A and B are shown apart, each in its own frame.
Chain A
Amino acid sequence: MSLARLDETVGAELDSALHRFSVDRTINSILDVGAVVEVLQSAPQLPSFARARAQVAAAAQQWLKSGLLPELMVMKGALSHPITLLVEIATEAPAYRSGDLDPLAAMVEGGLVGRGELPTLTLQLVSAAFSRLGITIPAVAGRAEDLRRIVDKRVLRSRSDEYDLATLMMAAQLFRAKSTPRDSMPKVFPRIMLVEALRCGHLNWIALLALLNGHVFPQAPRAMMLGARAQLEKAVKGGTDLLPMPNPDVLYSEFLERSDLGLRLRSTLACYAFLNEDLHVAPL
């Protein structure tokens, strides 16, 4: 399949996922859209994401205005992070008006949102996003850790799973929120993860990690980026559908819920953006 066809496939699948979210509101449909918005907000500057961003923003603006997103914030506290990202991206929709935030602000004012216990990084992200939106929630008390060191220390762990990818994206979003220069971001852990994915031919992860290493964290060496490009180009050329699921041996994580389609859509979107962007790889 060509890159243009891949873009069409992703667009159509994303439309279906957004529609299911609108009508079903099942956990899986929320997780599908959540996985997409996670990757979009990890590298929001990429022109290749423009179409997907516009699709998600238009739908999210409707969900925000109707009170659906604030309601989900109350009912599904564990999904606070992706729902917050949807609220953020909703503000990019042409139809967005500042009054669309009123239902959410009212719920915060009434103490229904923003007071639950969230994992530290999630809490920092949600707090930063709300602050940008002009909504005040209780401040985060824990001191800011050296996020770069914490991320890179993860190479000491003996195994990885989807949770590691989720935390890499959260770290990317937090660095963006803090306007951290790219060369001050972690590079050891993202690269090791990409090397492992390349060695295993693990396409789902290669796509996402290539995007993060190529456009978010300090750029990985030329050979790694070219290796990722070669594997992804081959997969797209010979494929007719979204990228496959992550390998079963890394899917397990007791810390977060994922949906099959969401993971495939997320990584295919990352694959399209990575292959479509003009990547100026560092010399060997």
Chain B
Amino acid sequence: MRITSQWLRGRALRRAADRSQAYLLTNSASFAIGSNSESLVIQGNPVPWRIKPLIELVLFLVIVKANGVQSKACRPLTDMVLAEASRFDWHELAAFDPASMSPLALTLQFFALHGRAPPFEPAYFEALRSTEYLHGMDRLPYREMDLQYGLSKVGRPESEAKLPVLFRDTAFGRGQLIPRYSVDDIYSLTHALFYLTDLGIRSLDTVLDGPTRHRLRRDLIQLTVVMIRGDNCDVLGELLICWIMCGIEASPTETAIMNAGLDRMLVRMTPDGAVPPTSDVRKRLLSGDAGFADVYHTTLVAAILFALVGKSR
């Protein structure tokens, strides 16, 4: 019986991976930098770009490539990103917003992964880095990890050594109690683990000591349970991704919890492959009252999760 249910879940996960990626491909035009920008107004001026969806798609593509996942959708999505990013004026963005350094680094990494020259002047990027134009004064520690991880991938390997130090100032690093974790605190943990594990490539044994790994395992499973009992598939999906990236050998109880989380993600999916973050958004999406902007991030999270879990099973 157990073998049958595992086999059924495995088949469902493979189909879910295909469907979520099909949604991304069908809606690839919505990831364009000019899309969804109507409501973005800064200092009274409309800003003619919104790069967040595209950059999050880039992260999806980098993760699946780094983990050796094969998929039919990745090639056309990659081509779309390369074309879209090549058309955009990254110099203008960087001049406007110093916080754009992390997206610039990720874009540079993505283009290098595909053997392409960066879509902006490399000397400009280096000038921004060396003058510390990008230096934030009051970044959240996990956001600083985001930046240092990005820099470590584009010719600054020394930045990698800062990751475990910065991790100690995150909510997890400061010993946050489970009942006190905010959603932002959980995102801090999941993103920090993406970087510490080098997107699932590096063993945590090399960056965290034994007691910290032990506490991490305990907190990860407890937070996963909290999110399964709640209604937030976006955070739940990221926690499940971390479980895989951290390469933790699950006990039978932990396996049961992880499977319950996967089931929750599976049943949240709509027929066209979108994965809304909450049941309310799912209802609104099915009735036409919600759209791409409301679901693309959780769908990306689910696509990463289903791709990685399919590979690891």
A119 and B42 within 8 A (CB): no
Do A153 and B135 form a contact, CB below 8 Å, given A112-B180, A116-B185, A252-B42?
A: yes
A111 and B175 within 8 A (CB): yes
Count of residues in A whose CB is under 8 Å from the partner chain: 36
Interface SS, B side: loop
B180 and A122 within 8 A (CB): no
User: Is B131 an interface residue, CB under 8 A from the partner?
Assistant: yes
Do A159 and B43 form a contact, CB below 8 Å, given A115-B177, A117-B141, A143-B165?
A: yes
A77 and B182 within 8 A (CB): yes
Give the contacting residue for A249; candidates B43, B95, B139; CB below 8 A: B43
For the complex formed, measure the closest distance between the CB of B146 and the CB atoms of chain A, giving whole angstroms: 13
Total number of residue pairs linking A and B with CB closer than 8 Å: 96
User: Is B170 an interface residue, CB under 8 A from the partner?
Assistant: yes
Q: Looking across the interface, which residue of chain A has its beta carbon closest to that of B188?
A: A117
Count of residues in B whose CB is under 8 Å from the partner chain: 34
For the complex formed, measure the closest distance between the CB of B167 and the CB atoms of chain A, giving whole angstroms: 8
For the complex formed, measure the closest distance between the CB of B140 and the CB atoms of chain A, giving whole angstroms: 5
Q: Name the residue in A115, A153, A170 with the highest tally of chain B Cβ atoms < 10 Å from its Cβ.
A: A115
Q: How far is the CA of A120 from the CA of B144 in the complex (A)?
A: 9
Q: A121 — which chain B residues lie within 8 A by C-beta?
A: 137-138
For the complex formed, measure the closest distance between the CB of B303 and the CB atoms of chain A, giving whole angstroms: 27
Do A116 and B135 form a contact, CB below 8 Å, given A140-B169, A142-B141, A159-B96?
A: no
**Selected A-B contacts with CB under 8 Å, 8 pairs:** A77-B182, A115-B180, A117-B142, A117-B169, A119-B138, A120-B144, A122-B138, A142-B168
A interface residue numbers (CB < 8 A to B): 77, 111-112, 114-123, 138, 140-143, 149-151, 153-154, 156-159, 161, 167, 170-171, 248-250, 252, 255
B interface residue numbers (CB < 8 A to A): 42-44, 95-96, 98, 131-133, 135-142, 144, 165-166, 168-171, 173-177, 180, 182, 184-185, 188
